[in-house]
Amino acid sequence: MNRPDQARIDLFAANGQRLKGCFFWHSDIFKRLAALLYAADNRIVDCEKIKDGLQLVKAGTGLFSALRGQTALVLAAKLAKHPEPHQLLASTRRAYDELRSCRFGASDYLAVAASQIADRTR
């Protein structure tokens, strides 16, 4: 394995360990996905910014919103990396509502899809 790939794998593992300590109650698979999002950009996880992102998700969504479900940690990680997190959250909510209006079933994975759509269409 070449050096850049090994460095990225090491960063992914380190990010996963950081998230494991910061977000004990969240799902391991979504902690790994958040760690991967940061490693893909060659960035070290910032737990405080992700916690701020979680607070933004909680403040900007309804109590029973799918955006607050299991995948909230992933969305918070994306918000933490984004230069305009409020705008990304609003775009994610619009994309989610549009997908729901097209009769996609409510799910955590639809929330992730909406965040990807919002992030890619800035």
- Provide DSSP, 14-42: HHHHHHHHH-TTS-HHHHHHHHHHHHHTT
Q: How large is the C-alpha radius of gyration of the chain? A: 15
pLDDT at 122: 66
- Tell me which residue of 41, 9, 49, 33 sits closest to 115, measured CA to CA: 33
Averaged pLDDT, groups of 10, the chain, 122 residues long: 88 96 92 96 96 95 87 94 95 96 92 93 76
Per-residue pLDDT tens digits for 76-106: 999 999 999 999 999 999 999 999 999 999 8
Residues 74 and 37 sit within 8 Å (Cβ to Cβ): yes
Cut 0.85: pTM above it: yes
Residue at token pair 């994975």: 109
pLDDT at 29: 93
Residue 113 belongs to domain spanning: 3-120
- Tell me which residue of 122, 54, 70, 62 sits closest to 97, measured CA to CA: 62
Q: What is the dihedral sign for C-alpha 46, 88, 63, 107?
A: negative
CA distance linking residue 56 with residue 117, whole number of Å:
19
pLDDT at 45: 97
Domain count, the chain: 1
